[in-house]
Every structure is written in C-alpha cells, then in structure tokens.
Amino acid sequence: MTAYALQRNTVVAAPPAMRLVAGNKLSADDIYPRLFDAILEQRIVPASRFTEESLAQSFGVSRSVIRRVLARLAEQQVIILRPNLRAQVAAPDARQLQHILEARRLMEVTVVQLACTLAKPAQVRQLRELIAHQRECIERDQQGAAIRLSGEFHLQLAAIAGNGPLTQFLNSLVPLTSLALAQHGHRPANWQRQMAIVVALEQRDASAAIALMSQHLDQVQAALTQ
C-alpha cells in the first residue's frame, strides 16, 4: 500500500451512500464530494480504517483516481497524509481555528470587494444555483452536503474575484472550516445571508457585501466556540 493509504491495517466497506451504481464510471471530480460528504457526516471518522483499494472497489475506479481525490482532500487539509504513516481525518484545535477565521476575515473582505466589481450575470446565476442546491440538501437533512456547499459558495466568490493567490489560499481554509463545523455538530440553515450577498453583488454594493460577509463569519465563529 502506498503512502496515501488511509488507516491501512484494516479494510472496511465504504458507507452505503458512497457505493457505485453498476455501469457508472466515476471521475475524481465525481468521487470528491461523495467522500468529503462522508467525512463531514462523520461516516468516516479519524478512527476509521480503509484503504485506496477498498475505496477503488467501492467506486469501481482505479486506485490512481482515488489517489487524486485523497491528494485533493490533503491539499485542503481535510485529511493528513504522511509518507509511511497512517493518514487520518484532520481535527483542527481551537487556536488553529481562530487563526483560520482571522485569515478568512482579512481575505474575504477583498474577495467580496473584487467580486462586486467583476461579477458577471452568468456567475451570479451560478451562485444562486449553488444556494438552491444547498437549500435542497438542508430540506433533505443531507447535512454534510449542505455544509460543503456552503463552503463552496465562498470558493466560487473567490473565483469570481479573479485573484489566483486568494483563491488558492481560501481553498486551503474553507474546506477545513467546513470540517470543523461538522465536527462541532453544526447544522447549516442560514442560507439567506448568502443570498443577500448575491443581491449585493448584483447591485455592486461592496459595503453591504462586506458587512454581510462579516456577519456570516461571526456566525461561523460562534458555531465553532459553542
């Protein structure tokens, strides 16, 4: 087994929601949200023991595809991969979370300012679709997916802002924040503030967007300190 093997001494079957439907061919992009959702819903916890091989069999793909998914999750700090050691789901502590939120506040002010200037109608529609999908997941009690989609809203804003380094940095902070929220038992419900940010983008109202983003991050901080 390679250095990417997760908890490799014992193999367990993938959670039911992750199983492959016969005949389908999944890509790394297909598998990533399913595996991330399983982690967020704590169907895969730090004590879980599974391998590249077991995941590859469950999804009906090669280990190289699974390896790309695990590498992406490791880049986002959701899982920890070390050569010749067992990998594990991350568990950020209070100090790390404080630093993450401080960094996000600084960066996301710039993100929403730029997005208010640069957002195109098609991009605004994509944000609305993302929020609608998040609402559907909340209504279906798919909490892991709802948390992940809430985080993707911020990453999509960063993409609209068009600043590569900001996007890359947030990509290493937002998924880890989502993981921490899930581990704290957070149940996402307040999609309205994200929709208000979208309205501010449409109106090119940077001041309103910044204020709404600050309120959202206040809510995130409160959820992580309960």
pLDDT tens for residues 99-128?
999 999 999 999 999 999 999 999 999 999
Torsion of CA 32, 215, 140, 92, to 10 degrees: 40
pLDDT tens for residues 24-54?
588 999 999 999 998 999 887 766 666 777 7
Q: Give yes or no for residue 15 having a pLDDT over 50.
A: no
What is the rounded average pLDDT for all residues in the chain?
A: 85
* Model pTM above 0.85: no
Would you call 96 exposed, middle or buried from its count of C-beta atoms within 10 A (0-12, 13-18, 19+)? Answer: middle
Class at the top of the CATH hierarchy for domain 94-224: mainly alpha
Top-confidence residue, 217 or 4: 217
Show contacts of 99-104: CB within 8 Å, 24+ apart.
100/173, 100/176, 100/177, 100/180, 101/177, 101/217, 101/220, 101/221, 101/224, 103/169, 103/173, 104/170, 104/173, 104/174, 104/177, 104/217
Domains of the chain: which residue ranges? 16-89, 94-224
Class at the top of the CATH hierarchy for domain 16-89: mainly alpha
